[in-house]
């Protein structure tokens, strides 16, 4: 019996990414962003699992991580 999920894996990973950023847990945020990349690219073509049309939240995640990394580098 197949399990039906109501949210994409990448959406759940984005929520976890936001929590890691909110807690300033940059190493975990970096790993979660990498996991998002894998989830979005694991299967291409018309039968892909993640049929995300709007990449805005993913692009915003990269910007948010860059801001946190820059702030950490400045001390």
* 1 in any annotated domain: no
Tell which wins on pLDDT, 22 or 6.
Answer: 22
Q: What is the pLDDT of residues 10-56, one digit of tens each?
A: 899 999 999 999 999 999 999 999 999 988 887 555 666 556 678 89
Whole-number pLDDT of residue 63: 97
pTM of this prediction exceeds 0.85 = no
Residue 23 lies in a domain: yes
The helix (H) or strand (E) run that includes residue 36 is helix 26-41
Which residues have a Cβ under 8 Å from the Cβ of 50 and sit 6 or more positions away? 8, 9, 10, 39, 40, 42, 43
More confident: 53 or 70:
70
Residue with tokens 């805005």: 56
Domain count within the chain: 1
**69 in a domain, yes or no?**
yes
Given pLDDT bands bounded at 50, 70 and 90, which one contains residue 67?
very high
Tell me the residue range of the domain where 56 lies.
9-43+51-74
């Amino acid at each position: 019996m197949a399990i039906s999920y109501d949210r994409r894996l990448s959406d759940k990973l984005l929520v976890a990414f936001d929590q890691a950023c909110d807690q300033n847990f940059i190493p975990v945020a970096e790993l979660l962003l990498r996991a998002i990349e894998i989830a979005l690219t694991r299967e291409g073509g018309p039968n892909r699992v993640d049929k995300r049309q709007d990449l805005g939240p993913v692009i915003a995640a990269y910007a948010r991580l860059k801001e946190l990394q820059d702030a950490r580098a400045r001390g």
